Amino acid sequence: MGLRDIKLKEEYRSDRDDIVAEFFFPCLSNCTEYSRCVDLLSIQTLATISMAFENFSEGKAKLRMITGHRFRTSDLNIFTKLFSEKNANSFRGNMIKDSKIQQLQRIVDNGQVELKIAIPISEQVADSFSERIGIFRDAQDQKVAFTGTSKESFSTQTRDFESVDVFTSWNDKSRVERKIKDFEDLWENKTKYVRVYDFINAEQNSLLKYSSDWIY
């Protein structure tokens, strides 16, 4: 089964749809690559994505994420351990009992997850990166792009009221290709007003902001 086999709507909205169950999880379960921009990222969210991303278990999937430079203090500590070579295998054994974190460590070690940080560098934009686009791609090279959602919090207690606009490569190819180009330009640090860093590079150069108050 691929992305084209999912019955997708052009729009999902919180008052009439379960955006997570009806859109995110089916697409995650049927893609081999997920590229995503978010304003804030938590360990819980990244671990939940890895659990829903069925192709991860077979080593066939790739997750690329670009996020802003604000983190909860506790999350930043775990992200640093996950992505730093000197801290490889930090969560093995009895140190961390959470199976989600252990699975996340494994797929990071396999090179299946890449994380980059986007930081505005112009006075013409606000102090934080907040673009919200995503692209799913499957083994048949079909793509689904979306915009509009502010968070990727899959908890039923913390979901925002939001809407998602959906575009598919078989019905709206030009718009999907435009979203892909926007993401790739960001990924390659070719976007005006924004500078994009590998996570560890940003952390080592003290470019990240952190607080115990930021919740995702």
Query: Strand 113-120 to strand 62-67: parallel, antiparallel, or no bridges (unpaired)?
Result: parallel
CA atoms of 40 and 151, how far apart (whole Å): 8
Residues in the chain: 216
- DSSP-derived secondary structure letter, 107: H
80 within 8 A of 203, measured Cβ to Cβ: yes
Residue 216 pLDDT? 45
Closest C-alpha to 65, from 93, 27, 87, 33: 33
Residue 136 pLDDT? 97
Quote the tokens at residue 89.
């295998």
Mean pLDDT in each 10-residue stretch from start to end of the chain (216 residues)? 95 91 92 93 86 74 94 92 72 56 86 94 80 95 89 58 92 96 98 95 92 61
47 within 8 A of 76, measured Cβ to Cβ: no
Closest C-alpha to 43, from 69, 87, 80: 80
Using CB atoms within 10 A of its CB, is residue 105 exposed (0-12), middle (13-18) or buried (19+)?
buried
Residue 158 pLDDT? 53
Q: Which domains does the chain have, with CATH numbers?
A: 3-205 (3.30.870.10)
